[in-house]
Structure 1
Amino acid sequence: MENSPQSNTSALFNTDFCLRLTSQILENEAPKGSNFVASPSSLHVMLSLIAAGSKGQTLQQLLHFLGSTSVGDLNLLSSKIISTVASPTENLEGGPLLSFVNGAWLDQRFILKPSFQEIAKDFYEAEIKNVDFEAKAKEVVEEVNLWARMATNGLVKQLLPDKSLDSETALVLANALYFKGAWDQQFDPSMTQQRDFHLLNGQIVQAPFMTTKIFMRHLYGSFDGYKVLQIPYQSGQDARKFSMYFFLPSEQDGLPNLIQMVKLNSGFLNQQFKTNLERLPQLWIPKFKFSYEFEASETMKDMGLRLPFKPGEMTEMVDTGNGDDGIYVSDIFHKSYIEINEEGTEAAASTAVRFKCCAIIPTPSFVADHPFL
């Protein structure tokens, strides 16, 4: 899905990260024969904010992982993503509905460092709340889940698992992305029919497929090893133009090879694919809806990002009162949802990162229940 061609280097880095992440998830999920949907942009923005609170080798590893040379570039890219996706102050009739929000829940024992708080608010438009993880961890889980549910129009129902936060939690950062758009040329539901769909593991399943009248023309392109179908969304009064791109491998089991090919071609998704209006005698698109969730920290480690999950150099985010002990990433929760039908697309994604303090401050107490002077 895209809204306009991008040519700047930071945007190339962003899409390269998207492809590496997609490839890693596909490698993990392909043996299961299951569908998956994820939002690399949601994870990229979250990791960029984490980079703003890091230093030393941890920062350098994050920059390398995200394909950037500076925190400043990451902040600018994230700000651009958020401002592009964010809905206008007034809904523009006929256009897609979009939103991208960020939030932070900080334990009341600590304070955000002024420089990080400024970045979180100015570039990421994050809403920051003080909470009590010691006494009200369960309530904070419910609060974050309600926030994500409302930000995704109810599509992400439980971002944080039960009991995922406790007294050792210092900070939670989260974001939520939502999209709903109607096709510029909608499909006729009466023409939808069951057809065979070929899974990567060789199995064949029945699925509902949408189609259009044979005389309709579609934006189509044929390339070496794959085909591209571009389906625009209605824009109405919205100046932004959004389309969904389907990349179909020529071979039924060609998806892993296609992903590997685009991984090796830096900036693949940023090129302008030449699609022309053509009549397609055979056009069948599966109608589907599904959700996917995973704890992303192990995936990040498999891709080479390890230092943020260790205590040491994430010291530019929170003032813990313990010198330079700082905090570190404990868990990364990610949930996504997509539905494609005859009318259009509805999709959502949300990411939450839990941080632990390297040295939690013990709660002061004075209980004189033994001999004293």
Structure 2
Amino acid sequence: MRRPLIFSFVVALAGIRITSSTSSPEGDVFTEFAMNLHRAIQLVDTGENILFSPLGVSLILGMIRLGANGTTLHQIKQALKLQGNQESEEFPGLQKLSAVISEENKEFTFNLANALYLQEGFRVKEKYLHSNKNFFKSAIKLVNFQDSKASAETISGWVDMQTNGKIRNLFSSEDIGPLTKIVLVNAIYFKGEWKHKFVPDATRLEEFKVKRGVTAKIPVMRLRLKTKLGYFSANNLNYQVLELPYKGDALSLFLALPSQNVEIGDLEKLMTTSVMKDWFTALNTEEVEVALPRFKIEHKVDLKGSLLKMNVTDLFNQNCDLSGITDAPNIYISKVVQKVTIEINEEGSEAAASTGMQAAAMSMTNHSFVADHPFLFFIKHNQSGSILFMGKVTNPDVGDARGRDVESL
């Protein structure tokens, strides 16, 4: 039996450093994909803290989609919730996001880069290369995957550069084999300042309830500001949602915090596209006392298992149809990896993501948002609705975010 060629791709995201909208149809598509991906990751990833980029995964699947046919194409389109036949019609929000990124914006830094690394001598269809270059602005690079160490260093070096040094050593020689023919890489880097910065002198060591009976001492930032806040309830589960905008208001960090007696997993089960749409319409501008841990997370996700849970199966077996990429037979995907880091502190951010639920704002005179127990977060591009980064914090101490001045706190 002929051994299959191995087609592998990886997505890398830079970390976020955080220091002290109206919904659209394409935004709904982005949100639905993000919710489905989050649910799938939860099923296969048992880490305390979880971090991933729905945007990065959707871009890589979009790059694959340009060369997929048959059932393989159908599964990708189903996962991405795509409509239409033309590539430009299927990524309506990406044009808006790309326009913001391409503008000279002094309020924040956002770099998005894609690359295709091809085995020297391996024949790839010109149409596929041109489509990736024209639509995704992908760089086309030739390497020799037979030298696994050199090719791993080359790709990792590109990711390192694109993410401003936040993602290092993404690939090792063990990740690349003699059958590897193509590697697709996506790198995202974001750095932004809070619209309302936290005051470093207000940061204090406080207890964070990791789980029942387990606490950790964490530097907690505090700030009183006017921002959007909402109180929600579903199935006897109460929680808050807070928006912290970045300078320029194009991007925002959203935090979802369950009440003290609610497990974070129960809140995750409630999250759907319609629930998140309710969040954005029901938030009210309030004077809020915010207490947020300063933390740093680095997380590497093997996305193959998650995509299988989302019924993207043919990519990973000999039923894979990538005939739009090459005429070579027996091509399939071998690896899907994403590595993301995020750091939250007083200055800003630097990044290298139920049915019948009823939402209502409760009447309160004093508003507070105290994240002293597990919470969910995501960074959203407000115009397109694209979720760039999304994650869960159950133990801020794991990432060693105690910082430069923890000894003096």
TM-score scaled to structure 2, two decimals?
0.74
Higher relative contact order (CA 8 A, sep 6+): 2
Q: Distance between the aligned counterparts of 1:124 and 1:258, measured in 2? A: 35
- What's the counterpart of residue 365 of structure 1? none
User: Which of 122, 126, 129 is equivalent to 1:114?
Assistant: 126
- Are 1:78 and 1:124, in contact at CA under 8 Å, matched by a contact in 2? no
Q: Distance between the aligned counterparts of 1:275 and 1:169, measured in 2? A: 49
Listed as ranges, the gaps of 5+ residues in structure 2 are 1-15, 354-387, 389-409
Q: Distance between the aligned counterparts of 2:45 and 2:317, measured in 1? A: 27
- What's the counterpart of residue 39 of structure 1? 53
Q: How much has 1:81 moved relative to structure 2?
A: 6.3
User: Which of 172, 179, 182 is equivalent to 1:168?
Assistant: 179
- What's the counterpart of residue 244 of structure 2? 231
Query: Following superposition of structure 1 onto structure 2, how do residues 137-286 of structure 1 map, counting pairs within 5 Å?
Result: 137-200=148-211, 203-213=214-224, 216-224=225-233, 225-235=238-248, 241-263=250-272, 265-266=273-274, 268-269=276-277, 272-280=280-288, 282-286=289-293
- What's the counterpart of residue 355 of structure 1? none
Q: Distance between the aligned counterparts of 1:19 and 1:114, measured in 2? A: 35
User: Which of 309, 313, 316 is equivalent to 2:316?
Assistant: 309
Q: Distance between the aligned counterparts of 2:93 and 2:117, measured in 1? A: 20
* Number of equivalences: 330
Q: Distance between the aligned counterparts of 2:213 and 2:54, measured in 1? A: 28
CA root-mean-square deviation = 2.6
Q: Distance between the aligned counterparts of 2:335 and 2:230, measured in 1? A: 41
- Are 1:51 and 1:71, in contact at CA under 8 Å, matched by a contact in 2? no
Q: How much has 1:244 moved relative to structure 2?
A: 1.1
Q: How much has 1:126 moved relative to structure 2?
A: 0.2
Bigger-Rg structure (1/2): 1
Query: Which residue identity is paired with 2:347?
Result: E
Per the alignment, do residues 161 and 84 of structure 1 end up closer, same or farther by CA in structure 2, a change over 3 Å counting?
farther
Q: Secondary structure at the match of 1:231?
A: strand
Q: Distance between the aligned counterparts of 1:105 and 1:11, measured in 2? A: 31
Q: Distance between the aligned counterparts of 1:62 and 1:39, measured in 2? A: 17
- What's the counterpart of residue 356 of structure 1? none
Q: Secondary structure at the match of 1:25?
A: helix
- What's the counterpart of residue 63 of structure 2? 49
Structure 1 or 2: more strand by fraction = 2
Identity within the alignment, %: 28
Query: Which residue identity is paired with 1:181?
Result: G
- What's the counterpart of residue 72 of structure 2? 58
Q: Deviations over 1:149-172 (max 9, x none)?
A: 111111111222332112201100
Per the alignment, do residues 6 and 180 of structure 1 end up closer, same or farther by CA in structure 2, a change over 3 Å counting?
same
TM-score scaled to structure 1, two decimals?
0.80
- What's the counterpart of residue 95 of structure 2? 80
Q: Distance between the aligned counterparts of 2:278 and 2:115, measured in 1? A: 29
